[in-house]
Amino acid sequence: QVQLEESGGGSAQAGGSLRLSCVARGSDIRGICMGWFREVAGKEREGIAVHYDDESTYVTDSAKGRFTIYRNKLNHTAYLQMNDLKVEDSGTYYCVAGIRGCYSAFERPHSIGRLAGYWGQGIQVIVSS
């Protein structure tokens, strides 16, 4: 069992920055991906960024060049650095620790159901113009 604790959300002005953190706690947190999904009312959760166990990363096109994901495996923490925020970045961000299906869930459309893993409770990000 893995528990995820998110922090760092809140409000920012467009053009500003926020950093989200996610700490994974549990008995077996090896071999997992860690990443973030964003949920906006009325839309499917969208994969924003993921750090794979092999150290490679993926960031969705709308956030490339602005968002960076990195991870400290020693303290089981993933970070999403969000720069040059836009109003459309607003939403609820969910941290995920994936056991299987990470690639499909994050990089293939409408494939979130392929992800087996653990979810955080979500954290709000509000970007105002």
Per-residue pLDDT of the chain (129 residues; tens, 9 = 90+): 899 999 999 999 999 999 999 999 987 778 899 999 999 999 999 999 999 999 999 999 999 999 999 999 898 999 999 999 999 999 999 999 999 999 999 999 889 999 999 999 999 999 999
* pLDDT at residue 102, rounded to an integer: 94
* pLDDT at residue 36, rounded to an integer: 98
Q: How many angstroms separate the Cα of 65 from the Cα of each of 39, 58, 84, 93, 103? A: 21, 12, 9, 19, 20
Give me the DSSP letters along 80-115. Answer: EEE-S--GGG-EEEEEEEEEE-HHHHHHSTT-GGG-
